[in-house]
Amino acid sequence: MSVRRFLPSFLRRFLWRALMILALFWGGGIALFSIVPVPYSAVMAERQVSAWFHGDFSYVAHSDWVSMDEISPWLGLAVIAAEDQTFPDHWGFDIASIEKALAQNERHPARIRGASTLTQQTAKNLFLWDGRSWLRKGLEAGLTLGIETVWSKKRILTVYLNIAEFGDGVFGVEAAAQRYFHKPASKLTASEAALLAAVLPNPLRFKVSAPSGYVRSRQAWILRQMRQLGGESFMTQHHLY
């Protein structure tokens, strides 16, 4: 049965208009945030509404925007080493990682492995919602292509670092640096940067302030990857800092 036959005409018109409005909204957001600091993200909004729903009116989700010049180069390198080592070279998707993830997920369906690039994570954090669904992944793919087309790699990394979640109510690298290390993001060391990157798979479960053995082992692995990538020179070589 076709969509045209299944859905009433008024509902089809409503859905079409809703999609057009969302496309215009997201397209405008991509254009605007290519030059303007991001004041708020979809994930921040989701966390804020959830806190209010549970009666926590003291919770305030926000981030303190900083430019890449105000962020330690170690932090950008740590995030790339941990999350997306082909970031400078791909156009939003790491096909090899996707194939590996699909193969592993087929063998071990109880342990789902992701393969999202930093651009995909930025698209999701900025415009979409948590959770796994084909609808969200489809929207994420479209937004990823838009971001990669309009933004530079440096801009993508800057936005990612400013809206990433590093703990309960802790958004962005400046807030994380101040909360956990009592210093600005520009002063973070390689070890501190690796520790922040180590919690990114699940910042509400893994704690920077009380790192588990797994987080410490992941921190050590990230530090090794940072050295193998070439250290700070990697960032300047790829015009990311």
Q: Is residue 211 part of a domain?
A: yes
Give the position of tokens 């089809």: 12
Q: Is residue 7 part of a domain?
A: no
Q: Is residue 129 part of a domain?
A: yes
pLDDT digit string, tens, across residues 198-235: 999 899 999 999 999 999 999 999 999 999 999 989 99
Q: Is residue 1 part of a domain?
A: no
* C-alpha–C-alpha distance, residues 174 and 185, integer Å: 5
Write down the pLDDT at residue 130. Answer: 79
pLDDT digit string, tens, across residues 14-64: 666 666 676 776 788 899 999 999 999 999 999 999 999 999 988 888 889
Write down the pLDDT at residue 10. Answer: 65
Instruction: Classify residue 67 by burial, with Cβ atoms within 10 Å: 0-12, 13-18, 19+.
Output: exposed
- pLDDT exceeds 90 at position 86: yes
Long-range pairs of 54-63 with CB within 8 A, sequence gap ≥ 24: 59/169, 60/169, 61/169, 61/171, 62/171, 62/175, 63/38, 63/162, 63/163, 63/171, 63/172, 63/174, 63/175
- The number of domains in the chain is 1
- Spatial neighbors of 208 by CB under 8 A, at least 6 apart, are 166, 167, 176, 180, 195, 196, 199, 215
pLDDT digit string, tens, across residues 109-149: 544 445 799 999 999 999 998 777 788 888 899 999 999 99
Q: Name the DSSP class of 89.
A: T
Question: Residue 204 has which token pair?
Answer: 């509400």
Q: Which domain CATH number covers 87?
A: 1.10.3810.10
Of 1-5, 90-94, 159-163, 166-170, the one with minimum mean pLDDT is: 1-5
Write down the pLDDT at residue 129. Answer: 82
- C-beta separation of 163 from 64 below 8 A: no
Q: Is residue 177 part of a domain?
A: yes
- C-beta separation of 188 from 48 below 8 A: no
Q: Note down the domain range covering 81.
A: 12-236
Q: Is residue 156 part of a domain?
A: yes
Q: Is residue 2 part of a domain?
A: no
Q: With CA atoms as reference, report the closest residue to 164 among 135, 195, 197, 131.
A: 197
Q: Is residue 214 part of a domain?
A: yes
- pLDDT exceeds 60 at position 170: yes
pTM as predicted: 0.87
* C-alpha–C-alpha distance, residues 221 and 117, integer Å: 19
